[in-house]
Amino acid sequence: MKSAFMRAVAVLALALVPTMAAANDATIGSEVAHSSMMGATLMNTTAIFNAFPHLVVYNGSGAEINTEALASGYDGAPQGRVWWEAYDGLWLNLSVGRADYGAQGANFMWGGTLSNGFLSPSDYGSVIGGYDAIDHQWINLGIAKPTSNGGAWAAGVFFGADQTKDSASDPEVENGGTAFGANFSWGNGEGLHVGAEFALQSEENQNFDPKLEGSFMNFAVNGRYDTDLYIYQGSFVFGSGTVDETDDTETDSSLFGFYASAGRYLKNEATGQATAEFSFAYMMMKDENGDADETDTMIIFPGVRVAAWEMITDRFGVMGAISSYYVLDTNEENDGADPDPDTDFASKGMDYSWEAGLFFQPTDVVRIDFQFVRDNLGYVLSLGNDEELVAYIGATASY
């Protein structure tokens, strides 16, 4: 049952900055830049559109593409995004390839879409125990419009499917699943931003008798309020689902979480930014199967993240972040036997992680981001080595 917990958290764990990049200004980084700064939520990156897609109306039109994170220790998928003012005052948003639609805003708020952030690791996995997730090739289509008072709103829908049918073996067997969801965000033009997202996934595997089938629903609400120097954020997540196992039993899974943070800018200029964030996070995950149950609870307090990027030449810049947090993790398991041999486990202590990257801006409207493989940076000055130095590459272009 433990895998169901971790896979559920993976999907959920699974903000307009005061000087967001203006239209035709490629200093807004990609998802790769976001990952290279430990999922920092106060920086100029396109990742902010995941939680608050209405912010595209302040950033002209643009496109983004990110490679798959192939290096050892990283997880991800190729992603693409386009936002453009198709009509006067109406933006169209299209994104494909993400693995976390329905929870992409929560992933942004909680610390990132790769194995980094305050809840680590947060790599993508199945929300249903024992299944391969619908974890790639989703399509997300939405619109965004400014309001008369300087604010904006956005709404979108998304769909994903991963199904196979082998008529040579059995024309009646079809495995896989489908998923759909929606998101909405709004900003008042005075520093307040809210967003909500929802997704429902269902899967089945008929190679078992009886067949395996399950579904999972997740919901999240995200909020942000920013001033000239300080930014306050919060995120609430909830999920529940059911899996019918091969032994004709049923496992009910659920999760609940809350995240809050306060941050400020140490530097906020066109040539670089530096930020500090302080956070609190709580996550509870539970599996129930007949008389047996297992509960995981994780509390993170305090969490601290310091992130920065800086232009080092007219065309090149560096970026990176480090986070440290105190974690209390408890696990309670009851196998339903009589007498009841309940087992409890608890751990607590400090943990930390870091990421770094490099970006190249050949023109005012194009930027290319590189995330380093941190474990291999010791080879950066080594001639003739065959170790991977770059884990992830992304590019943004605006017009």
Structural domain boundaries in the chain: 2-398
Q: In this predicted structure, what is the pLDDT of residue 353?
A: 85
Q: In this predicted structure, what is the pLDDT of residue 162?
A: 73
Task: Give the global pTM.
Answer: 0.84
Q: How many CB atoms lie within 10 A of CB 7?
A: 24
Give me the half-sphere count of Cα atoms (radius 13 Å) on the Cβ side of residue 244.
13
Question: Could you report the per-residue pLDDT of 5-36, keeping only the tens digit for each?
Answer: 333 333 333 333 333 444 334 568 999 999 89
Q: In this predicted structure, what is the pLDDT of residue 224?
A: 97
Residues of the chain with pLDDT under 70: 1-27, 70-76, 99, 112-137, 163-175, 205-212, 244-248, 336-343, 383
Q: In this predicted structure, what is the pLDDT of residue 124?
A: 29
Q: How many CB atoms lie within 10 A of CB 246?
A: 12
Q: In this predicted structure, what is the pLDDT of residue 251?
A: 79
